[in-house]
Structure 1
Amino acid sequence: MRLQAQAGWVIGWVVVRSLALYRALFPPESPWAGSLLQFDGCRADGVIKPGDTLIEASSGNTGIAIALMAAIKGYKCIITLSEKMSLEKEQILHALGARVVRTPAGVPIDSPDSIISVAKRLRNEIPRSFILDQYTNPANPAAHEFGTAEEIWHQTQGKVDAVISGAGTGGTVTGIAKGMKKHNPDVFLVGVDPVGSILAIPERLNETKGEYKVEGIGYDFLPDVLDQTAPDLWVKTTDKDSFKLARRLVREEGLLCGGSAGATVAALVQFMEQRPEFNKEEKLIVLILADGLRNYLTKFADDNWMKQNGYAVDAGA
């Protein structure tokens, strides 16, 4: 029995599938389009020139997008990456010619050892180096307001009722919310934030503190590009549910999704429980399934890793 049939909802599967496959190649939380806009804007202004160095603090996806551009254009690239993030991401970055600087996991964002602090230090030390800065650059949410939101609107022919998206920098959910509301103020936006992160509102949702293993969503600080009021509802998700549902997406739907995609589906389940008026056959709900499985072959995709970290491995998942 297929995943959506078991859960008892209709999610416009053709639309969601097409978006999911596209986003597996160009994950929105990177954001690929945002990186292009940020980068090309600097080039057009004459700020960044051939031979310069691009630096970015990243959980992996934005870093990969920037490293890809640097490889194509012949720029140098340095990505600061927390030790929490998968080895696969580092390997891809190295393959693209980027230098990877690992930083300790779990340190506060204002620590001199955080990914952002280390990126800034490198920028100060290396002549002709620039940080595109997905955390503060308004081109990040703008890419999703004028790009991703328009894509969703046109693919659904304006029939979308709700959009569910994870939040890392928050650029994706903020931009999509603004773009969707321009077309139809009644489109309902759901932001997904892992337990242990502090992005959600109201603040009581963030009372449970601690580390989380899902990558690409959640932070211990509020990025400037995030508008916490953009989503109509915030939903908190656990690693257990995120990894379980990500594995089911792979096994039952053939979607090679990352853990944050599992978190998005877990949020969908909660959303249906909290807002039953959307749990109807005529409702069309779009899920942004960011990130791909190949970044996590040694993590949640591996049965031994799941068992070592205390997660059950179902025979069919």
Structure 2
Amino acid sequence: MVLGGPNRPGESQGNGFAATPIVSLRLSVNDVPVSLWLKLEGYAPHGSIKGRVAQALWQDISSRIGPRTEIIESTSGNLGLALASLAARHRVPFTAVVDPRSSGAVVAAIQSLGGRTVTVDTPDGAGGYLLTRLGYIQERLRDQPGMLWPNQYANPANPRAHALGTAPELRTQLPRRPTSVLVAVSTGGTLAGFRDYVTAARPDWELIGVDVVGSAALGGRRGPRLLPGIGASRQSAFLPQGYRPALRVAPAEAVSACVWLRESTGIGVGASSGALVAVALRLFRAAPHRGSVTCLCPDGAEHYLGTVFSARWRERLPVVDVARGVEVTAVESPRFDTLPGPVGLHEGRVVP
């Protein structure tokens, strides 16, 4: 059973969104009991945490949308799907610029909503396709008047959606005890928003960024990357000085964690969530009495059935057992009947 904390799934949080559910896994790691919390953003509008970002971006650009406007955005998949849905609702043409690593299911879903997809297939020389996607957008902006780019990579609406929404929502759902909160990095907007919230509201959290090997999102050496939705070919504009603490994960570790989680609990999450779970298990082993780790899981398993959850696809990866010495003893989602009121918002500022 999965519940949403003070609001059940489907009940409004006051920002137009329902609270996404949180589930607690009671684990034994090398015979030490620990708690792993998973906030499942696959239950958010449009099927991922990017639904929150899309709504914030749309609100930011809405005053600039006219009768001849066409919206264009670079996306690995999830944000494009969310924007395609909003564009269809408002009858605004939308183009998603994707690449060969984007989920075929997500691309098809964007098209089913009336969105146009353009697949760039030239690697950017930095381990991915991001720079190629952005180059295509710059060409379209130059050549086609009326083209509007929300720019998820630098628009302050991206981190603000998390500083004023996702992070305080999570705080109302967790027990008021110390925990390490793990956030995956791509544009860096989620981590920057959580950083801003933690700085202002000061929950008892250790905030840790999680990136993949080969990503330059937090600085460091660029290299080939396999998984969509985590990592980037360039440093995050929201985190120009990088972020610490941060940990990196190899693709095989993230995939192993996804498979272990589904097989041991029935909970399906995407590749970036697998990276978080892999780091959580690593942290528990390194500090057996850490006690609690929380993962902000960006999406579910449905867009990864042909990759992460395909045995044939996984043959390209080395075999890694991230769950060695780990036993799931219970899967719980406790009802918090008495919680302090949610952290409030006042004139766009976080109020503890």
> TM class, shorter-chain normalised?
0.7 to 0.9
Contact 2:307 2:313 in 1 (8 A): yes
Tell me if structure 2 keeps the 8 A contact 1:108–1:114. no
Shift of 1:292: 2.1
Matched residue of 2:102: which SS?
coil
Matched, 1:220 2:228: no
Q: How does 1:1-317 map to 2 (within 5 A)?
A: 4-6=27-29, 8=32, 10-11=34-35, 13=37, 16=38, 19-20=40-41, 22-23=43-44, 26-28=47-49, 30=50, 32-43=51-62, 46-104=63-121, 106-108=123-125, 114-184=132-202, 186-200=204-218, 203=220, 206=221, 209-226=222-239, 228-229=241-242, 231-274=243-286, 276=287, 279-280=290-291, 284-307=292-315, 309-312=316-319
Q: For the Cα contact (< 8 Å) 2:97–2:118, is it kept in 1?
A: yes
Deviation at 1:72, TM superposition (A): 1.2
Using the TM superposition, give the Cα deviation of residue 125 of structure 1 relative to its aligned residue in structure 2, in angstroms: 2.6
Contact 1:88 1:297 (C-alpha < 8 Å) held by counterparts? no
Partner Cα separation in structure 1 for residue 44 and residue 57 of structure 2: 19
Change (3 A) 1:278 1:257: same
Unaligned runs of 5+ in 2: 1-24, 324-352
Coordinate RMSD, CA, aligned: 2.8
Structure ranking higher in strand proportion: 2
Q: Which runs of 5+ in 1 are unaligned?
A: none
Aligned to 2:17: none
Shift of 1:105: 5.2
TM-score (norm 2): 0.76
User: Which has a greater percent of helix?
Assistant: 1
Q: TM-score, normalised by structure 1?
A: 0.83
Amino acid at match of 1:245: A
Contact 1:55 1:78 in 2 (8 A): yes
Residues in 1 aligned to 2:289 and 2:237: alpha-carbon distance in whole angstroms: 31
Give the superposition deviation at 1:303.
Answer: 0.9
CA distance in 2, matches of 1:178, 1:113: 27
Verify the 8 A CA contact 1:111 1:117 in the aligned structure 2.
Answer: no
Q: Please report how far the alpha carbon of residue 199 of structure 1 lies from its aligned counterpart in structure 2 after TM superposition.
A: 2.6
Report Cα offsets for 1:23-80 as digits up to 9, x if no partner: 595422x2x222212211221xx31124521100011111111111111111111010
Measure, in 2, the Cα distance between the counterparts of 1:297 and 1:10. Answer: 30
Q: 1:4 is aligned with what amino acid? A: L
- State the SS of the aligned residue for 1:106: coil
Cα deviation, 1:128-153, whole Å, max 9, x if unaligned, reads 22000000101101111111111111
SS in 2 for 1:300: coil
Q: CA deviation at 1:91?
A: 1.1
Query: How far apart are the structure 2 equivalents of 1:153 and 1:19?
Result: 14
For the 8 Å contact 1:24–1:289, the answer to whether it is kept is no
The runs of 4+ residues in structure 1 deviating greater than 6 Å are: 109-113
Is the 2:73–2:97 contact (alpha carbons within 8 Å) kept by the matching residues of 1? yes
Return the alpha-carbon distance in structure 1 between the equivalents of residues 233 and 106 of structure 2: 21
What is the DSSP-based 3-state SS (H/G/I as helix, E as strand, rest coil) of the residue aligned with 2:71? strand
